[in-house]
Amino acid sequence: MGNTVMGMRTPLFDTHVAAGARTVDFGGWDMPVNYGSQIEEHHAVRRDAGMFDVSHMCVVDLRGDRVRDYLRRLLANDVARLTQPGKALYSCMLRDHGGVIDDLIVYYMNDHWYRMVVNAGTRDKDLDWLRQVAAGYGVAVEPRTDLAMIAVQGPHARAKVAGIIEPTIAKRALEIEPFFGIDTGKLFIARTGYTGEDGFEIMLPAEQAVALWQGLRVVGVAPCGLGARDTLRLEAGMNLYGNDMDETTSPLESGLGWTIAWEPQDRDFIGRGALAAQKAAGDTRKLVGLLVEDRAVLRSHQKVLVAAVGEGEVTSGTFSPTLQRSIGFARVPARTGDRCEVEIRGKLVAARVVRPPFVRNGKVAIAV
Amino acid sequence: MSNIPADLRFQKSHEWARLEADGTITIGISDHAQQALGDLVFVEAPEPGRHVNAGEACAVVESVKAASDVYSPVSGEVVAGNADLGGQPELINTDPYGAGWIMRVRPDDKAQFASMLDATAYAAALAAETH
């Protein structure tokens, strides 16, 4: 399990190793997968507070007089929905043929500045695409490699963060509404995340990351790795780029139809024509949630069989620490009903088709 | 760093084995293996009475991350599977060489046990795998 090629490292890498983290390659970065039991890390987030080093993700500032027009062309969701400063929007960025280049979050800071966060593994192609489209709009694309990012998640996450930062900033932080971010000068604090729990994602100068991490550690925030991040996001019904969608699938086939802003009809976003044609043709595959009752675990690429309808494939699967059963997502034919079978290690295992999320705010969100 | 008890024998595929006083062999997975797998969630141990061959996949350990076969280091009859693992698979994580044992086999030929890696050879095999 040793790496022959050293990956990129975040400013917190040495801190993770000193804390006993097992690390793995993730999109070219050496990242912690767990610090001990990933199930305990998972429960810490559902019940108290946990933190993730997400400094590998790419923060990009987009600036220019026409930046709004640019993003309305670039993204399948519509930034015109963002009218209050700090408000965030989740969107896909598409190729002309409707395939997903990446999923991302964009914050409206002011009429000349939006801040975007894209995935680590897609960073280079994202930046190429952002710049290619930006040329027509005079928009400056500025990756913020000077910033680190820490996600603090869980029912007690916000209070714990507020307890260790400057009181004037803490007061403002506690007033942030869900899916908003504020720029306090030193810290950019957003009430967003990838776990289905309340919490913050905090961007800060890279050289200050260790101090914030250690400060959170002192107030009992559990360090959590990519292992727990995956089980938490799956329970929360959130897609993972590269698993659940990529350039060969459209948002319509990826459970992300809700992120496409069809209105106004004259907004000509990239990929619109292809999505409209796919929608008109109908019978599009769909991404569904699966719950397995047997003692077997769903994994990516397992074959799904839907009686009298056809076949599909598991895109993400794991064991849910909250449900104590296996859950996953699968891309299946449109006419799939509420049952299917999955081929797991040579056996056909019955699965229920359910509507994610499986868990939200610490509570089971499906009928078990 | 993983724990490699000196009184056990090992396979490159990360099973350990211990020769008991009654001539049976207890089999489990090494500390290195449990660390690599992470939190165990299901264990499928073989039924007593089943005859297994050396090198045969006869148990499955599944973690949050991945499923992995457990290969018997010896041919023989399974005399017991660890029933406690049904409700507490995490015993493999917390005590891989004790309460986390997986199965006990009465070997057809004890020489197969004797030919397994000793602790030093297993440590060397691990070092070769990780560097």
Look-up of token digits 């295992």: A349
pLDDT at B131 over 90: no
Residue of A nearest to B130 (CA): A2
Q: How many CA atoms lie within 13 A of A131 on its CB side?
A: 9
Q: Which long-range contacts (CB under 8 A, 24 or more apart) does A172-179 make?
A: A173/A200, A176/A86, A176/A200, A179/A87, A179/A88
What is chain B's Cα-based Rg?
Answer: 14
Chain A CB contacts of B65 below 8 Å: 227
Superfamily of chain region A285-368: Aminomethyltransferase beta-barrel domains (2.40.30.110)
Q: What structural domains does chain B harbor?
A: 9-109 (2.40.50.100)
- Quick: pLDDT tens for A282-333: 989 999 999 998 999 999 999 999 999 999 999 999 999 999 999 999 999 9
pLDDT at A92 over 50: yes
- Quick: pLDDT tens for A168-184: 999 999 999 999 999 99
**pLDDT for the residue B2:** 87
Q: Which two tokens stand for residue A22?
A: 């097992």
Q: Do B62 and A297 touch (CB under 8 A)?
A: yes
Task: Indicate the pLDDT class of residue A367, thresholds 50, 70 and 90.
Answer: confident
pLDDT at B130 over 80: no
**Cβ contact B64:A318 at 8 Å:** yes
Q: Do A1 and B130 touch (CB under 8 A)?
A: yes
pLDDT at A41 over 90: yes
Establish, for the pair of chains A and B, how many residue pairs have beta carbons separated by less than 8 Å.
42
**How far apart are the C-alpha atoms of A103 and A62, rounded to whole Å?**
16
**How far apart are the C-alpha atoms of A59 and A119, rounded to whole Å?**
9
**Cβ contact A302:A343 at 8 Å:** yes
Does A231 contact chain B (CB < 8 Å)? yes
Mean pLDDT of chain B: 95
Intrachain domains A13-50+146-235 and A285-368 with the same fold: no
pLDDT at A51 over 90: yes
Task: Indicate the pLDDT class of residue A4, thresholds 50, 70 and 90.
Answer: low
User: Stretch A234-242: mean pLDDT, rounded?
Assistant: 98
User: Where does A13-50+146-235 sit in CATH, by number?
Assistant: 3.30.1360.120
Residue of B nearest to A20 (CA): B1
pLDDT at A2 over 60: no
**Cβ contact A40:A225 at 8 Å:** no
pLDDT at A185 over 80: yes
Burial of A14 (0-12, 13-18, 19+ CB in 10 A): exposed
Does A5 contact chain B (CB < 8 Å)? no
**Cβ contact A285:A90 at 8 Å:** no
Distances (CA, A) of A297 to A109, A238, A364: 43, 18, 19
- Quick: pLDDT tens for A55-87: 999 999 999 999 999 999 999 999 999 999 999
**pLDDT for the residue A171:** 97
- Whether the full predicted model's pTM is greater than 0.90, yes or no, is yes
Question: Least CB-CB distance to B64: which of A2, A22, A227?
Answer: A227
User: Stretch B66-84: mean pLDDT, rounded?
Assistant: 97
Task: Indicate the pLDDT class of residue B34, thresholds 50, 70 and 90.
Answer: very high
Q: Do A345 and B67 touch (CB under 8 A)?
A: yes
Structural domain boundaries in chain A: 13-50+146-235, 285-368
User: The sheet that has A88-94: what strands, in order across it?
Assistant: A88-94, A100-110, A113-118, A58-63, A140-143
Alpha helices in B1-131 (DSSP H): 31-37, 84-87, 91-94, 111-114, 119-130
- Quick: pLDDT tens for A108-154: 999 999 999 999 999 999 999 999 999 999 999 999 999 999 999 99
Q: Which two tokens stand for residue A270?
A: 């990239």
Q: Which two tokens stand for residue A156?
A: 């007690």
Cβ neighbours of residue B51 under 8 Å, at least 6 residues apart? B75, B76, B77, B78
Share of chain A above pLDDT 90, in %: 96
**pLDDT for the residue A5:** 65
Mean pLDDT of chain A: 96
Q: Which two tokens stand for residue A98?
A: 């409707």
Chain B contacts to A (CB-CB under 8 A): 35-36, 38-39, 41-42, 44, 60, 62-67, 90, 93, 129-131
Distances (CA, A) of A129 to A124, A133, A141, A308, B42: 9, 6, 10, 42, 44
pLDDT at B1 over 80: no
Judged by DSSP in three states, A50 sits in strand
| DSSP secondary structure string for all residues of A302-357 | -EEEETTTEEEEEEEEEEETTTTEEEEEEEE-TT--SEEEEEETTEEEEEEEE-S-
